[in-house]
Amino acid sequence: MTRKVILFIAETLDGYIAEENGNIDYLIDNDFTSGEDNDREYEKLVKHVDSVVMGRKTYDQVANKLSPDSYPYDDFDNYIMTRQPIDDVGNLHFVDGDIVDLVNGLKKRSSSKDIWIIGGSSIIAPLVNSDLIDVYQIGIVPIILGKGIPLFSDKTKFKELSLVSAKKVSGIAYLEYSK
């Protein structure tokens, strides 16, 4: 069975994953995360994932800002794309290479679990363009930034997807698309 590549990410209503300076404070402690429904989408995802792929900026944000006391992806093999690679540390693999080659290689590895793509656009665009993302799970948060770092950059080619599901959890609209 071929492993699926899943893009699971949050974006603002106007399509940004971060402010222009990379700040993602809008995701932390906002009213949209409270409500009558418990958001368990992340918990559902991680049950069938064993590999995480992200860029160095995303890694730095997660490790230093979002979760500085406890790295949340310790249970996974982490592949961090960087132009300045350092030696691997445990399950943290710092990779200077082609993201498409990396993901193709991960897909071929024997595993019953899937591959999670976190972002940003320098990681996402080549994978979209190479038709490697199987599932797009996008949480739309009810915030308009006006400007920022877009989920899909101008380097992303046209791609038509099929809507699999749409649901509201607290104040977040979760959309799932497949290729």
Dihedral (Cα; 119, 121, 122, 125), 10-degree rounding: 110
pLDDT at 28 over 70: yes
Digit-coded pLDDT (tens) for 46-59 = 999 999 999 998 99
Q: Is residue 11 part of a domain?
A: yes
The pLDDT tens digits for 63-111 are 887 788 888 999 999 999 999 878 999 999 999 999 999 999 999 998 9
Structure tokens at 32: 């949209």
- Say which CATH number the domain at 39 has: 3.40.430.10
Among 61, 98, 56, CA closest to 78: 56
Residue type at 105?
G
DSSP assignments along 30-81, one per residue: -GGG-SSS---HHHHHHTTEEEEEEEHHHHHHIIIII-TTS-TTTTSEEEEE
This prediction has a pTM of: 0.92
pLDDT score, position 141: 94
Per the structure, how many domains does the chain have? 1
Q: Does residue 171 have a cis peptide bond before it, meaning omega lies within 30 degrees of 0?
A: no
Is residue 177 one of the residues assigned to a domain? no
Q: Is residue 10 part of a domain?
A: yes
What CA–CA distances, in Å, run from 92 to 55, 161, 166?
12, 32, 33
Measured CA distances, 157 to 129, 152, 153 (Å): 6, 9, 9
- DSSP letter string, 126-152: HHHHTT---EEEEEEES---SSSEESS
pLDDT tens figures, 126-163: 999 999 999 999 999 999 999 999 999 999 999 999 99
- Residue 105 counted as domain residue: yes
- Considering the domain boundaries, does residue 82 fall inside one? yes
Tell me which residue has tokens 């409500």: 35
| Domain assignment of residue 179, yes or no | no
**What is the predicted pLDDT for the residue at 27?**
80
Residue 129: give the domain boundaries: 5-171
Average pLDDT for 33-53: 83
Residue 102 lies in a domain: yes
Residue 176: inside a domain: no
